[in-house]
Amino acid sequence: VKKPEISIIGSGNVGSHLANALFYAGFTIHEIYSRSLSHAKSVAIAVQARPVNDLTQLDDQSDLYIFAIPDDAIKKLANSGLKFSCAVHTSGILPYDALRPVADQFGSFYPLQTFRKGEKVNFRDIYINVQAGNKSTLQLLKELALTLTDKVASLDDTQKSWLHLAAVFANNFSNQMLAIAYDLCSGHEIPWPMLEPLIRQTLDNAMKGNPDIYQTGPAVRGDLSTIQKHLAMLPGGKQQEIYRLLTDYIMQKRQNHKG
Amino acid sequence: VKKPEISIIGSGNVGSHLANALFYAGFTIHEIYSRSLSHAKSVAIAVQARPVNDLTQLDDQSDLYIFAIPDDAIKKLANSGLKFSCAVHTSGILPYDALRPVADQFGSFYPLQTFRKGEKVNFRDIYINVQAGNKSTLQLLKELALTLTDKVASLDDTQKSWLHLAAVFANNFSNQMLAIAYDLCSGHEIPWPMLEPLIRQTLDNAMKGNPDIYQTGPAVRGDLSTIQKHLAMLPGGKQQEIYRLLTDYIMQKRQNHKG
């Protein structure tokens, strides 16, 4: 079976990392598109592809067109009059059929990781979620993903919305809890790395299964005197409000669990 | 200089881990105390110490008595009539001079980690906080700590209270954010490990410095349409309240930063 030839539209973080990973996995990267030709060139050179800075100049020789461009840019494609044999996007937000208006076969190829320019990415550690309009395209995307990682999933659009919401709690909000801890440490000349081993242990435990099993601290112990002490230490602002709400939530869960 | 001989009072998680770590660091562990003689024996055998189950039977030959027993038990010692040459406790909550009533020299030797029975602990990765009533005892505790780890700190009681409060945010509350994420995943048949790489990356970034620098997500982007969508996905209970409060907090911080 001939390996699909690939065009990558977008030379940003996702596009350039994907181009390199697929190139090193043995795929032919046919074209790299960027609005900026010099940008397209800088990525294209490394993967022996043709740089393109005009979407109408993409040829029709590729078997798969991967769109790693901003969500808004993908929405605008609908009225472009372009047509591709098989096109997928890398967005975690857009519906899987966002490229239906411009492609015979379409789908989504979504790597679940934040990519940063210049930082090396090991796709082996990353989940890739694939969806497609028909079984053969889904099969193609699965095989492509499996050359990069064995962590391949196929959540539908609804599940992806829930995953995205879950990620807000797991990443954004937990990061903000760390930010508050950092504030409290730096405000009292406490070295921030002192908390690192505990934080890492918390995370290691949490990934073993339901993190609630490993919940520790005054709230789950029902240690009201410590809770009162902590509330008194916080100024009357939002940090105190957060402490109170999260403590209530943990205590209520514990109550329900008992009752 | 002769290495201090040590008695360890308490054969629970902290006591047994400390006994082993100090024994392997070359210290003589003179006695291990537990209310249960069989318990004391099980720890004492491994470190060639004498098991004791009656505090009045501790002899006065040790240079240092480390109390790794519950906070309440330490408080009760005050009226015991016991007297030790040099006694320290391992509590992160009690004041450093909690053993003053029963000791000529006193202090606190507090390893910042959750210990679990049976799980191996590498003290190298753990901060130990030392405090003492005088300089020579502080020096003794520092040297002792430095044989186990190079991460030795000397926060005072007030700083320790703030560290404890910071740890509630960094560990307990961030764990609860993960627990909510887990709920949302398992409620929609999303494999929990899908979030792991992102969570680990969030943590790695957060430990580099102020986690606020690495804050991502709809709140810090000011992405109101995603926030509205997420609020609508959550039932009217506490999870929605938490989403709203943390989003407000992050947005407000961002406002203040800009303004």
Q: Which residues of B touch A202 (CB under 8 A)?
A: 170-171, 174-175
The mean predicted confidence, pLDDT, of chain B is: 94
Question: What is the per-residue pLDDT for A236?
Answer: 87
Residue B96 has pLDDT above 60, yes or no: yes
- Over residues A39-53, the mean pLDDT reads 97
> What distance, in Å, lies between the first and last C-alpha atoms of chain B?
60
Give the residue-averaged pLDDT of B230-241.
94
pLDDT 10s digits, A224-253? 999 999 999 998 899 999 999 999 999 999
Give the number of other CB atoms < 10 A from CB of residue A183.
17
Determine the pLDDT at residue A18. Answer: 96
CA distance A224 to A232: 12
- List pLDDT tens digits, range B150-194: 999 999 999 999 999 999 999 999 999 999 999 999 999 999 999
Give every CB contact of residue A179 below 8 A, 6+ residues apart in sequence: B206, B210, B211, B212, B215
Residue A51's identity, in one-letter code, is P
Q: What is the ipTM of this complex?
A: 0.88
Chain A residues whose CB is inside 8 A of the B163 CB are 185, 188, 190, 194-195
pTM to 2 decimal places: 0.87
Verify whether the Cβ–Cβ distance B190 to A155 is below 8 Å. Answer: yes
Do B194 and A243 lie within an 8 Å CB cutoff?
no
Cα radius of gyration (chain A): 23
Across A162-166, B130-134, B252-256, least confident range: B252-256
What pLDDT shows up at residue B120? 79
Q: Is the pLDDT of residue B1 over 80?
A: no
Burial of A189 (0-12, 13-18, 19+ CB in 10 A): exposed
Q: What is the largest CA-CA distance in chain A?
A: 71
Judged against a pLDDT cut of 80, whether residue B257 lies above it is answered with: no
B55-76 per-position pLDDT tens digit? 999 999 999 999 999 999 999 9
Task: Assign A204 a pLDDT band (cuts: 50, 70, 90).
Answer: very high
- For A214, which of B175, B184, B217 is closest by C-beta distance? B175
The mean pLDDT value for A66-93 works out to: 95
CA atoms within 13 A on the CB side of B155: 26
pLDDT at A259 over 70: no
Q: Per the CB < 8 Å rule, is A195 touching B163?
A: yes
DSSP states along A62-109:
-SEEEE-S-HHHHHHHTTS---EEEEEE--SSS-TTTTGGGEEEEEEE
At residue A59, φ and ψ (nearest 5 deg) are -90, 180
User: In sequence order, what are the residues at sequence separation of 6 or more whose Cβ sits closer than 8 angstroms to the Cβ of residue A32?
Assistant: A7, A8, A11, A15, A19, A40, A43, A44, A47, A49, A50, A51, A52
pLDDT, average across residues A131-147: 97
Encoded tokens for A44? 């294209």
Which of B93, B132, B120 is CA-nearest to residue B24? B120
Q: How many CB pairs under 8 A join A and B?
A: 273
Q: Report yes or no: B76 and B56 within 8 Å, Cβ to Cβ.
A: no
Residue of A161, A168, A217 lying closest to B172 (CB–CB): A217
pLDDT at B9 over 70: yes
End-to-end distance of chain A based on CA atoms, in angstroms? 60
Residue A72 has pLDDT above 90, yes or no: yes
Q: Do A230 and B168 touch (CB under 8 A)?
A: yes
Q: Is B120 exposed, middle or buried (0-12, 13-18, 19+ CB in 10 A)?
A: exposed
